Structure 1
Amino acid sequence: MTNNVQTIAMLRSAAWARGLSPGQLQRVELETQDRFYSAGEIVCHKSSFATHWIGVVEGMVKVDVLSADGRSTTLSGISDGGWLGEGSVLKSELRPYGVVALRDSRIALMPSETFHYLLTNNLTFCHFMIDQLNARLGQFIALAESYRMHDISSRVASCLAELFNPQLNPRTNPVLQISQEEIGRLAGISRQIAHRALHELEDAGLLHIRYGSIDVLDVDGLRLYAREHTE
């Protein structure tokens, strides 16, 4: 069993854990392990076999894909309390993406056998997974729309708003400990362009920029900005 207190607390407080029996929760705690990844370290490679469901205990990771010419496209960012990779685990397939620690992160790794055990034996977990997959579909539809946008500030607004999706990122703090370079990586743009976009969003009263962090003041406003401010 992992001896990290944060990981145990994260497992016990997860929305999907509330309906587990004591025996099921004990099995989860015994079989789920945690690992620490430094900023920039690969959590899992593209085309690796999906042996674990991945949870972010603390920190932030990004999910991205590489095109044939080597360009990276970020699909999503996952912060404290979020889980990812359920689709590949469900289908027992190779992961079509890579996962990279955006900053120093502690990661929970639930074995696929444990994941499928819960899916087979616990109705609460099944309901959670339906909601999770539905939220993931909505996220990727929004992503496709954002990459059609010519207005970069709208893309950054959409990217930031997704970090507050209550299903996928249940514990995101309104004070984001994230650099402008990291936001650029999430949005697929340079730090300089992210800097300009963030100042436009600050001028719109949606956030406040501080050194090494961003205060998100209006998540709904970010979503509205992403929908309405396109060229």
Structure 2
Amino acid sequence: MTKHVQTISTLRAAAWARGLTQEQLQRVELETQDRFYSAGEIVCHKSSPATHWIGVVEGMVKVDVLAADGRSTTLTGVSNGGWLGEGSVLKGELRPYGVVALHDSRIALMPSHTFHYLVAHSLSFCHFMMHQLNARLGQFIALAESYRMHDINSRVASCLAEFFNPQLNPQTHPVLHISQEEIGRLAGISRQVAHRALHELEEAGLLHIHYGSINVLNIEGLRAYVREHAE
């Protein structure tokens, strides 16, 4: 199957690819698949085998966990240029979450055997993966801290700021095409409470709210807001 030109461009421009040899990069391009997912389509199910490292070429996906009573909680979102699922691929375990396209998305799927080949043969890829896993750990520590120590507004600010984490989401556009309901799921609050928090952040000059999207005006301002409300 011929890959989309944007997928090839994304693979070559990825931070983890910069130290690969030409032979290694050619192998990655040959073996990595790509697929288009419509909004709402499942990229991978919870408890499915971790057969691929997942990259977002274009669009946005959410990482979900489903409670026994059927309630869904969104752990994080990943946008253009971001990669996810490395922990499950490294451990060869079933995925403890599901991944769903938030809107129409093109996804790169690097087979687990290609991923492990890079781990075994590329020191630069291993260095990238150390930074990736450290960033992922920091993300979830911040999430736990947010639930325990922050007020509602700063929790929403923290969720938005995470979309601009340069390690995990290197190409996020300032206009996030994400619903207030999804922001609420990320922050662990209802859509109505998320709506009020977003309006307060808008009044603080940090963002603009539009129908179906949020224009982030001041990323560092969001991070500062979170720090100030953690004190």
Q: TM bucket by the smaller chain?
A: over 0.9
After TM superposition, list the pairs within 5 Å mapping 1:128-167 onto structure 2: 128-149=128-149, 151-167=151-167
Which shows bigger deviation, 100-109 or 180-189? Answer: 180-189
Deviates more, 1:67-76 or 1:42-51: 67-76
Distance 1:149 1:74, change over 3 A: farther
Contact kept? 1:48, 1:94, Cα under 8 Å: yes
**Equivalent-residue separation in structure 1 for 2:219 and 2:192 (angstroms):** 23
Q: In structure 1, what is the equivalent of residue 98 of structure 2?
A: 98
Alignment of 1:101-116 (within 5 A): 101-116=101-116
Unaligned segments of structure 1, at least 5 residues:
none
Partner SS for 1:77: strand
Partner of 2:48: 48
Match of 1:16 in 2: 16
- Which ranges of 4 or more aligned residues in structure 1 deviate by more than 4 Å? none
Supply the distance in 2 between the matched residues of 1:149 and 1:61 (Cα, whole angstroms).
27
Which consecutive residues of structure 2, in runs of 5 or more, have no partner in the other structure? none
- 1:85 and 2:85 matched: yes
Percent sequence identity is 84
More displaced stretch, 186-195 vs 155-164: 186-195
Q: Cα deviation per residue 1:110-133 (whole Å; 9 max; x = unaligned)?
A: 000000000110111000000000
**What's 1:195 paired with?**
195
| 1:182 match | 182
Q: What displacement does 1:14 show?
A: 0.1
Amino acid at match of 1:75: L
What is the 5 A alignment of 1:22-41?
22-41=22-41
1:145 positional shift: 1.4
**Which has the higher mean CA deviation after the structures are superposed, 184-193 or 79-88?**
184-193
C-alpha contact 1:79 1:171 (8 A) present in aligned 2: yes
8 Å contact kept, 1:55–1:81: yes
1:230 positional shift? 6.2
Corresponding residue for residue 227 of structure 2 = 227
SS of residue in 2 equivalent to 1:148: helix
**Are 1:2 and 1:29, in contact at CA under 8 Å, matched by a contact in 2?**
no
Q: How big is each residue's C-alpha offset from its partner over 1:74-123, in whole Å with a ceiling of 9 and x where there is no partner?
A: 11110000000000000001111111111111110000000000011011
Residue 6 (structure 2) pairs with residue 6 (structure 1): yes
CA distance in 2, matches of 1:93, 1:102: 25
What is the CA–CA distance in structure 2 between the aligned matches of 1:3 and 1:47, rounded to whole Å?
A: 28
Match of 1:34, SS state, is strand
* Pairs aligned (count): 231
Q: What is the rounded CA distance, in whole Å, between the counterparts of 2:119 and 2:2 in structure 1?
A: 22
Q: Secondary structure at the match of 2:35?
A: strand
Q: Does 1:125 align with 2:90?
A: no
1:61/1:105 contact within 8 Å kept: yes
